Structure 1
């Protein structure tokens, strides 16, 4: 049975029945239903964001996301280690390898330069973990670029090393006649008295006195350019082109052991001492040319003689005596 409600009328001193209008009643009902619906929707949304109503698929995705976060964290730690190793390699590259081969260092701004222009990572934005994924991707790209630059640099260093090895092998670095087979250092580089005219003139090489038939050695790696007697005054002679601007000449030979076009190594026997051409006695006239200019051969005998032997030869070579050719 429906309850009847009353209110007290103070003016008439009596209780009167409360009569609710139908429109107002429907308004209360509608308000109740609307508030109930809103509360229900709000409660449903809240419940959806709690683990209480997670489906197995939601749980699987959540585990995968946490696993990905962990993997990204491990990847960043590994990149920290790679960064450290690469930094040491770059330091050695700039301050050791490139210094040794006398080439300019790679500027730091070139090694560490980013990627300008269009945003390369726009597709990674707008997600819950966008910052983590974007930063990691940027680091991977930077490392890839730095490794590419370093790889190219090491290729260049390798090329320089090979060229340096060839250069060291090509430089005329030994005496063309061994000390134990020498009679004496007859004449050095510079102005000397001509043995035939007795006139003081420039002597473009060094004369090594030795018995006829004494072996003559190539003083550096190279290719025999000439082995003939067509040059006036030199008699039987050999010219070796060593590359890098170096060339050596061996004159007054009794016979050859090489031919034009033949490749020789430092220390190979190329001929034998004689007295052919414009020569006063058996000896080897030896010249060194650098970029087309004659230079003092004395400056190149560091490959097979001691410091004491060099001092003796230097004193003899610097005496202004008479040459043998």
Structure 2
């Protein structure tokens, strides 16, 4: 049974029944519905942001998102390690390899120059986290470009190394007569007394005194340019062109073991000591030419004698005695 409510009317001194208007009832109902809706929305918001009511699909998406974040961080770490390793290689390339082969270093601006032209990353725009994706793509492209430049540089260094090996073999680096077959160092490079005129004149090479028939060795790899007696005063002589501006001359030979146009290697026997031409006694007159100028052969014996022997020969060669030719 519906309860009836009353109120006391003090003016009329009587109890009257409370009658609720329909508009008030409607207002209460609307207020209740609004409060219920707000309460429901609040509950839904709270529950949707907790893992209590997650669906399997939302859980899978969350797991995939975490995996993508982890992979992105791992990718950036690998990129950083690649950049560090590449920088170390570039450092050795500029300050070791290229210095050794006397080649100009590659500037950091050239190695790290940007990739110009059209927008290469337009297809990666307008996505969630596009900035992160574009930034990573740029780093990878820069590393790939730097690797390409470094690869070309190493190819160049390899080529320089091969040329360097050929150059080192070509440089006159040993004595043309072995120490055990020498009588003594007769005369060195510089002004000496002429054995015939007794006038002091410039001696263009070194004289190695040895008995007739002592083997003479090519001091570097090269090609025999001449093996004849065409130069006045030198008698039987040999000229070897070593390339790179180097030429050696061996004079007063008793006989040859090579001929013009023949390739020889350092240490090959090319002839034998004699006393042909303008010579006072059996010996080898040896000259080294660099770019058309005579140079002191004493500076090129690092490949066959010890430091002690070099000091001794240097003292003997620098004495202003009489030459043998």
Shorter-normalised TM range? 0.7 to 0.9
Residue number in structure 1 paired with 2:70 = 70
Residue 38 of structure 1 corresponds to none
Partner SS, residue 247 of structure 1: strand
Match of 1:234 in 2: 234
1:69 positional shift: 4.0
* Aligned position for 1:318: 318
1: CA distance, partners of 2:126 / 2:115: 17
- Cα pair distance change 1:268/1:125, threshold 3 Å: farther
Deviations 1:140-196 (A, max 9, x none): 101101111111121222222222222222211111101111111111112222222
Equivalent in the alignment of 2:125 = 124
Matched with 1:106 is 106
Partner-residue secondary structure (3-state), 2:285: strand
In structure 2, what is the Cα distance between the partners aligned to 1:190 and 1:282?
A: 21
Using the alignment, how far apart are the partners of 2:50 and 2:138 within structure 1? 34
Cα distance in 1, alignment partners of residues 197 and 304 from structure 2: 35
Once structures 1 and 2 are overlaid, which stretch shifts more, 94-103 or 66-75? 66-75
The equivalent residue for 2:18 is none
Moved more, 197-206 or 116-125: 116-125
8 A Cα contact 1:212 1:273, kept in partner: yes
Alignment of 1:171-210 (within 5 A): 171-210=171-210
Cα RMSD for the two superposed structures = 3.9
Determine the C-alpha separation between the residues in 2 that align with 1:271 and 1:121. 75
In structure 1, distance between residues paired with 2:277 and 2:255: 12
Alpha-carbon offset, residue 54 of structure 1: 9.6
Q: Aligned partners of 1:227, 1:244: CA distance in 2, in Å?
A: 21
Structure 1 match to 2:79: 79
Give the TM-score taking structure 2 as reference length: 0.79
Q: Secondary structure at the match of 1:279?
A: coil
Contact 2:124 2:133 in 1 (8 A): no
CA distance in 2 between partners of 1:156 and 1:270 (Å)? 36
Which residue number corresponds to residue 218 of structure 1?
Answer: 218
Structure 1 alignment gaps of length 5 or more:
1-46
Aligned mates of 2:197, 2:98 — CA distance in 1:
53
Count of aligned pairs between the two proteins: 323
In 2, are the aligned partners of 1:121 and 1:134 still within 8 Å (CA)? no
The 1:52–1:312 alpha-carbon spacing in structure 2 relative to 1, beyond 3 Å, is closer
- For structure 2, the 5+ residue unaligned runs are 1-46
Q: Give the 5 Å matches for 1:275-290.
A: 275-290=275-290
Q: Which residue of 2 aligns with 1:134?
A: 134
Q: Contact between 2:188 and 2:206, CA under 8 Å: does it hold in 1?
A: yes
2:124 and 2:130 in contact (8 A); partners too: no
Q: Is the 8 A contact 1:125 1:134 kept in 2?
A: no
Query: Shift of the alpha carbon at 1:201?
Result: 2.0
> What is the alpha-carbon distance in structure 1 between the residues aligned to residue 58 and residue 273 of structure 2?
95
